[in-house]
C-alpha cells in the first residue's frame, strides 16, 4: 500500500477516459436549437479524467485504508458489527430486485412486494408487534417516524397537549434529536446508581403533557432493566406511550420481545441486528413496528395483501404521510430477509445467547484491569471506565488508539455520557473464543503498558499509515473540497 494516495483530481489528466458510450443513433439536433444559451453552462463541471485502470487502482488503494468487519475484530459498542453474510450480497443483486422500477405496476412487482410483506411479518413476530413499516432509512429515521405516529395517536384522541418526550440520561443522542425534529419538548430523567431508570424520577416526570417515554432495553450500559413492566405501567397509567429504541435488540431476540415488555412502538436497525452491511456509514434501514392501536397512523403506503395478490395501500386517512421516497431502502430489506431465513427461530435465539455470553466473557476477563462501573451480568455489550488509566495520565482515547496497533477496531469510546472515560465493547455472536481471547490479551497488555510505559500508549498509534490527525485545525479552517492549485 502506498503511504500517500493522491486525490482522484490530482491523478486526472486532460483527455484520459474511463467511459464508453454508443454513438448517438437518432438524428442530432443542434443543442442551441433545443435549449436557449442562458440555460447552458459555459464549461463542463471539473470532474476527473482518468483511465479505467487508474480509477480501479485509486479506489482499490483507498479501500485498503479502511478496516472492515472482514478485516478483523470490530467490537464497536452500540453498533453491532456482526458478520455480513456473502450470500445476502448475491441474492440482493438478482436482476429481479435491482432492475425493478418503483413505479412499475404492482402486478409486475409481486415478488418484491411479497418479500416486504413477509419481512414485516417476521419482524412483527420478533418484536411482538402487530404491524411494521419498512419505509424509514435508518435508526434515527425510524425514531422520528415512531414519534410522529405517537403524536398523531394522541392528537387523534383529542389529547392535543401531549408535547413532551421523556428520555433517560443514558439514551442515544438520536433519541432527543429525533424528538426535537418531531416537534417535541424533551425531559431527561437521571439514571439510578445501578445505571437503570430511576422509578421515582420517572414517576415525577409523568404528567398529562407527556406523549411517551423512549427507552433502549438493554440500555446503553448493556444492562437489562428488570423493572421494565413497572416502567411501562408508570408511563401507560400517565397516558403516555412506550417507545423501544431497538439499537440493542441483538441481546434479546428470541428471549423476550419489546411487545411483551409493554412497548407500543419499536424500531429495529436492520444494519445492526439483521446483518446488513454498514457500508461505511449507510445505507441502513430502520423499520418501525407498532401495536394494533397505532397501526392506522403508519406511513403510506402500507404493504398489504388481498385475494389476488400483494399491493401498496395508500388509502389510509389517518396515516402520518410519507417519510421517504418510494417504499424504503428495499435492497437493505432483501438482505435482512435473507438473514432471517438463514437463521430460523433457533438461530435467531442463538444470536442473543452467544452475543450475551461473549460480552460477559470479555467483561469478566478484563474487570481486574479496567474499572467496570456496574459489575453484574451484562447483555450484548459491556461498558468499562478508563478512570484507572486516566489517573496515570492515559485517556480512553489513548487506549483506543493503541488498540489500532494490534489490528483491532477500537470499541466505542466516551459513550454513554454518564460513564466517564467510557469504553463500550460489543463483541457480537459471530466471534469465536480465540478471537475474544486475543483481544482480551491485547487489552490487558495495554493496561500493563499504561503502568510501565504510558508514553507508548499516549503516542499511539504507531503502525497505521497515518498518525493522529489535527481535528482542531480541520474545524477551525474547514477545507471541505479540493481546490485546484493555480
Rule CB under 8 A: which of 251-290 touch other proteins?
252-257, 260-261, 271, 275, 277-284
Using CB under 8 A as the binding rule, whether residue 204 contacts other proteins is answered as no
Q: Which of residues 208-247 bind other proteins (CB under 8 A)?
A: 223-226, 228-229
- Pick 73 or 371: Cβ nearer other proteins: 73
CA 22/CA 238 separation, integer angstroms: 67
Strand 265-268 to 241-246 pairing? parallel
| Count of other CB atoms within 10 angstroms of residue 484 | 8
Cβ-contact 189, 201 below 8 angstroms:
yes
| Residue of 331, 388, 438, 454 that binds other proteins (CB under 8 A) | 331
Cβ-contact 198, 190 below 8 angstroms:
yes
Backbone torsions φ then ψ of 413, nearest 5 degrees = -125, 155
Using CB under 8 A as the binding rule, whether residue 393 contacts other proteins is answered as no
CA 4/CA 48 separation, integer angstroms: 19
Contact residues for 18 (Cβ-Cβ < 8 A; gap 6+): 50, 51, 52, 54, 55
Using CB under 8 A as the binding rule, whether residue 421 contacts other proteins is answered as no
| Residue of 203, 305, 316, 324 that binds other proteins (CB under 8 A) | 324
Give the dihedral sign, CA 316/319/323/328: negative
| Residue of 40, 157, 161, 233 that binds other proteins (CB under 8 A) | 40
Q: Which of 407, 360, 414, 374 is nearest to 390 (CA)?
A: 414
- Pick 240 or 328: Cβ nearer other proteins: 328
Q: Which of residues 52-71 bind other proteins (CB under 8 A)?
A: 52, 55-56, 58-60, 62-71
Question: Within 13 Å, how many C-alpha atoms sit on residue 468's CB side?
Answer: 13
Q: Which of residues 125-154 bind other proteins (CB under 8 A)?
A: 125-126, 137-141, 143-144, 148, 151
Site map (CB under 8 A) of other proteins, residues 79-98, x = contact: x-xxxxx-x-xxx-xxxxxx
- Pick 70 or 451: Cβ nearer other proteins: 70
| Residue of 109, 383, 443, 447 that binds other proteins (CB under 8 A) | 109
Using CB under 8 A as the binding rule, whether residue 486 contacts other proteins is answered as no
| Residue of 49, 130, 296, 313 that binds other proteins (CB under 8 A) | 49
Backbone torsions φ then ψ of 427, nearest 5 degrees = -80, -25
| Residue of 159, 177, 316, 454 that binds other proteins (CB under 8 A) | 177
Cβ-contact 168, 231 below 8 angstroms:
no
Q: Which of residues 287-316 bind other proteins (CB under 8 A)?
A: 299
- Pick 159 or 353: Cβ nearer other proteins: 353
* Minimum distance, C-beta of residue 144 to other proteins, in the bound complex (Å): 6
Q: Which of residues 347-376 bind other proteins (CB under 8 A)?
A: 347-351, 353-354, 356-358, 360-361, 364-365, 376
| Residue of 32, 307, 452, 481 that binds other proteins (CB under 8 A) | 481
Greatest alpha-carbon pair distance for the chain in Å reads 78
Q: For residue 210, list its beta bridge partners.
A: 164
CA 214/CA 180 separation, integer angstroms: 13
Backbone torsions φ then ψ of 471, nearest 5 degrees = -75, -30
Window of 176-184, 238-246, 290-298, 388-396 that interacts with other proteins by CB under 8 A: 176-184
Using CB under 8 A as the binding rule, whether residue 160 contacts other proteins is answered as no
Amino acid at each position: 500500500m502506498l503511504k500517500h494516495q493522491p486525490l482522484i483530481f490530482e491523478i486526472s489528466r486532460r483527455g484520459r477516459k474511463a467511459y464508453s458510450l454508443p454513438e448517438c443513433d437518432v438524428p442530432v439536433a443542434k443543442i442551441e436549437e433545443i435549449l436557449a444559451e442562458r440555460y447552458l453552462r459555459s464549461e463542463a463541471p471539473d470532474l476527473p479524467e482518468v483511465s479505467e485502470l487508474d480509477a480501479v487502482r485509486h479506489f482499490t488503494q483507498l479501500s485498503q485504508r479502511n478496516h472492515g468487519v472482514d478485516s478483523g475484530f470490530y467490537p464497536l459498542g452500540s453498533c453491532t458489527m456482526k458478520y455480513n453474510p456473502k450470500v445476502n450480497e448475491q441474492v440482493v443483486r438478482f436482476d429481479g430486485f435491482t432492475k425493478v422500477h418503483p413505479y412499475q405496476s404492482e402486478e409486475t412487482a409481486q415478488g418484491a412486494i411479497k418479500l416486504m410483506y413477509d419481512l414485516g411479518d417476521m419482524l412483527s413476530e420478533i418484536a411482538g408487534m402487530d404491524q411494521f413499516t419498512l419505509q424509514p432509512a435508518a435508526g434515527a429515521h425510524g425514531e422520528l417516524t415512531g414519534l410522529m405516529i405517537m403524536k398523531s395517536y394522541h392528537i387523534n384522541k383529542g389529547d392535543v397537549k401531549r408535547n413532551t418526550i421523556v428520555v433517560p440520561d443514558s439514551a442515544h443522542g438520536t433519541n432527543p434529536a429525533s424528538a426535537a425534529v418531531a416537534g417535541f419538548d424533551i425531559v431527561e430523567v437521571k439514571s439510578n446508581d445501578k445505571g437503570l431508570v430511576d422509578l421515582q424520577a420517572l414517576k415525577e416526570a409523568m404528567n398529562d403533557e407527556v406523549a411517551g417515554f423512549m427507552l433502549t432495553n438493554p440500555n446503553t450500559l448493556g444492562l437489562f432493566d428488570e423493572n421494565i413492566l413497572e416502567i411501562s405501567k408508570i408511563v401507560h397509567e400517565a397516558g403516555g406511550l412506550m417507545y423501544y429504541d431497538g439499537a440493542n435488540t441483538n441481546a434479546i431476540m428470541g428471549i423476550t420481545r419489546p411487545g411483551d415488555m409493554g412497548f407500543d412502538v419499536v424500531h429495529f436497525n436492520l444494519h445492526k441486528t439483521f446483518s446488513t452491511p454498514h457500508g461505511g456509514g449507510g445505507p441502513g434501514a430502520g423499520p418501525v413496528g407498532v401495536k394494533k392501536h397505532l397501526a392506522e397512523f403508519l406511513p403510506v403506503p402500507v404493504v398489504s395483501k388481498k385475494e389476488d395478490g400483494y399491493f401498496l395501500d395508500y388509502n389510509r386517512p389517518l396515516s402520518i404521510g410519507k417519510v421517504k421516497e418510494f417504499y424504503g431502502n428495499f435492497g437493505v430489506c432483501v438482505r435482512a430477509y435473507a438473514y432471517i431465513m438463514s437463521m430460523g427461530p433457533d438461530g435467531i435465539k442463538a444470536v442473543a445467547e452467544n452475543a450475551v455470553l461473549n460480552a460477559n466473557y470479555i467483561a469478566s476477563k478484563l474487570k481486574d484491569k479496567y474499572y467496570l462501573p456496574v459489575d453484574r451480568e451484562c447483555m450484548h455489550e459491556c461498558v468499562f471506565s478508563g478512570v484507572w488509566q486516566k489517573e496515570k495520565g492515559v485517556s480512553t482515547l489513548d487506549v483506543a488508539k493503541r488498540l489500532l496497533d494490534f489490528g483491532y477496531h477500537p470499541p466505542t469510546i466516551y459513550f454513554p455520557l454518564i460513564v466517564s472515560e467510557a469504553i463500550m465493547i460489543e463483541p457480537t455472536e459471530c466471534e469465536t473464543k480465540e478471537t475474544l481471547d486475543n483481544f482480551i490479551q491485547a487489552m490487558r497488555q495495554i493496561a500493563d503498558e499504561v503502568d510501565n510505559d504510558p508514553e507508548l500508549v499516549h503516542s499511539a498509534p504507531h503502525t497505521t499509515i497515518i498518525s493522529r490527525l489535527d481535528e482542531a485545525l480541520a474545524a477551525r479552517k474547514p477545507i471541505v473540497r479540493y481546490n485546484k492549485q493555480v
